[in-house]
Amino acid sequence: MAWCHGLIEACSRRLELTRVSPSDLDVLTPRETDVLYLFVKGVSNAEVAAHLTLSAATVKTHLDRFMAKLCLSSRAQAVVLAYETGLVTPHRYTQEHDNNGR
């Protein structure tokens, strides 16, 4: 039960923070970071599973774990955190992009 108390304390501290940094993602395993990255890019759980050669259940487990570790209550918060930490960056679409489909 000590881990639960520690998690609650960490989440409480996280809620008090106004700024995030890339080091906030250090609590994640490399595979959790991969799943987070793909998820934030809009890839479905099934597509993540196929891309990373995992089962859908394993993808869901990774999602649940990174949400708990990062004290996130929604997927929208995960997207915001990924952008704020620099895990992903906004993609600028140009007229050329739209015309060429790239």
Mean pLDDT of all residues in 31-46: 94
The answer to whether 66 and 35 are in contact (CB under 8 A) is yes
Q: Does domain 2-89 have CATH number 3.40.50.300?
A: no
Phi, psi of 46 (to 5 degrees): -65, -40
The answer to whether 70 and 24 are in contact (CB under 8 A) is yes
Among 28-37, 39-48, 85-94, the range scoring the smallest mean pLDDT is 85-94
pTM: 0.70
